[in-house]
Amino acid sequence: MLKKLAVAAACALTLTSYAAVAQESTLVIKLSHVVADDTPKGQGALMFQRLVDERLDGKVRVEVYPNSSLYGDANELEALRNNEVQMLAPSLAKFDQYTKQLQVFDLPFMFDDLEAVNRFQKRAKGRQLLRSMEDKNIVGLAYWHNGMKQMSATKALRLPGDAAGLKFRIQNSKVLDAQFAQLGATAVKMPFAEVYKGLQSGQVQGAENPWSNLYSQRLHEVQPFITETNHGVLDYMLISNARFWYAIPHQIRTELEAIIDEVTYAVNRQAEEANLADRRRIEASGKSQIITLTPEQRQAWREAMRPVWQQFEGEIGSDVIKAAQVVNRKRHD
C-alpha cells in the first residue's frame, strides 16, 4: 500500500507538465520498435497507428519508428522513461533491471505452447505483472506475442550436449545466460539489429528465435540447422511512460485502451499464423535443415534446463512460477 501511495504521489508531482502535453490540440505518441514492419509486432504498431488515425478525429497522432530507426535495444527504455518516446514494445527479457518477476517468461520449458502463455497472461498474476514497473515510470498496456522460440546453430542440435562449446546470441537476460551455461555453451549479448552479421561472421554460432524472426531477418540463410525446440516464448510488452499515460484525458485514454485491446487480439492471432507460414517458407527454401525432436530428446532438453528454474525461483517468486505452472497445458513432473 505504501509503495502504491508513493507512486501516486510521484505521478501527481509531475502531472502538470505531462498534462500540458496531453492538452495540446494533437497528442503525439512516438512508438518505436526494433523489428521489421512485416513482423507481428511491426504490423501491430502500424494497425495501432491506423486505428488511432481513423477513430480519434485528429486528437492523437501516432508516429511509428521500426527497425531501431529512432531508438535501439540499448537505449529505448531510458528514452521512454525520459518521455523522449511514449510507447515501446520491448521483449519481456529487456525488463530485468526494473522487475525480476517478468523473468518467468524466460525460463526454459515453462510454457508448452502459446495457449498456455495466453492463459497465464489473462489471469490475475499475469495482469498484475503489467503494473509491476509503475514505480519506475513504466506502465504495461498489453502483451504481444511473437512466438515460441527455436534454437538454430551451425551444427545439428538433437541433444543438450550438442550445444556445448558454441556461442549463442541472447538478449540481455540473466536467465538466458544461465540457460546456455547449463548446456555448456557461451551466451553473447547482442542487439537484435546485429544478429545477422554476428551469425554470418561467425562471432556467434547460434541463436534462439521464433520462426517469424528467423525468416524476416533471413537468419535461416546463415544458420544451416534449426531445431524445433519450442523451449521458450518470445513475447513483448506494449508499454508507455506511466506519467505521460495517466495524464492523457480519461476519455481519450479509454479510447486508446479499446484500440490496444483490438490490436492485441489481431497481433497475437497473426503471430501464430506468421510463425506457421514462415516455418513452411524456411523449409521450402532448403537453406536450413529443420530438426524435429523425438519425445525422448525433448525430455532430455527439459531435464537439462530444469536447474535454471531453481536458480531463479528466489528472484522471480515461487508464487509467480506456480501460477504459470498451474495454467500450463501439459504437466511434466
Q: What is the mean pLDDT of residues 201-209?
A: 98
Of residues 96 and 3, which shows the higher confidence score? 96
Tell me the residue range of the domain where 151 lies: 27-326
In a domain, 207, yes or no: yes
> Mean pLDDT, to the nearest integer, of 126-150?
97
Q: Is residue 88 a contact partner of residue 237, using CB atoms and an 8 Å limit?
A: no
- Domain presence at residue 21: no
Mean pLDDT of 71-98: 93
SS3 of residue 100 by DSSP? coil
Here the cell at position 238 is 506494449
pLDDT band, residue 329 (cuts 50/70/90):
low
Q: What is the 3-state secondary structure (H, E, C) of the chain?
A: CHHHHHHHHHHHHHHHHHHHHHCCCCEEEEEECCCCCCCHHHHHHHHHHHHHHHHCCCCEEEEEECCCCCCCCCCHHHHHHCCCCCEECCEHHHHCCCCCHHHHHHCCCCCCCHHHHHHHHHCHHHHHHHCCCHHHCEEEEEEEEEEEEEEEECCCCCCHHHHCCCEEEECCCHHHHHHHHHCCCEEEECCHHHHHHHHHHCCCCEEEECHHHHHHCCHHHCCCEEEEEEEEEEEEEEEEEHHHHHHCCHHHHHHHHHHHHHHHHHHHHHHHHHHHHHHHHHHHHCCCEEEECCHHHHHHHHHHHHHHHHHHHHHHCHHHHHHHHHHCCCCCC
pLDDT at 305 over 80: yes
**pLDDT number for residue 249:** 97
Whether the predicted pLDDT of 318 surpasses 90: yes
Q: 127 or 68: which carries more pLDDT confidence? A: 127
Encode pLDDT of 229-269 as tens digits. 999 999 999 999 999 999 999 999 999 999 999 999 999 99
Examine residue 272 and state whether it is found in any structural domain, yes or no: yes
Tell me if 136 is assigned to some domain.
Answer: yes
**Is 4 a member of any domain?**
no
- Phi, psi angle pair for 244, to nearest 5°: -60, -50
The amino acid sitting at 84 is E
Question: For residue 1, what is the DSSP state?
Answer: -
Q: What CA–CA distance (Å, rounded) separates 129 from 30?
A: 24
Distance between CA atoms of residues 104 and 325, nearest Å: 10
| Mean of all residue pLDDT scores within the chain | 91
Number of folded domains that form the chain:
1
Give 22's pLDDT tier (boundaries 50, 70, 90).
Answer: very low
Residue at 2 is within a domain? no
Q: What is the mean pLDDT of residues 49-53?
A: 98
* CATH number, domain containing residue 144: 3.40.190.170
For residue 152, tell me if it sits in a domain. yes
Tell whether 183 is covered by a domain: yes
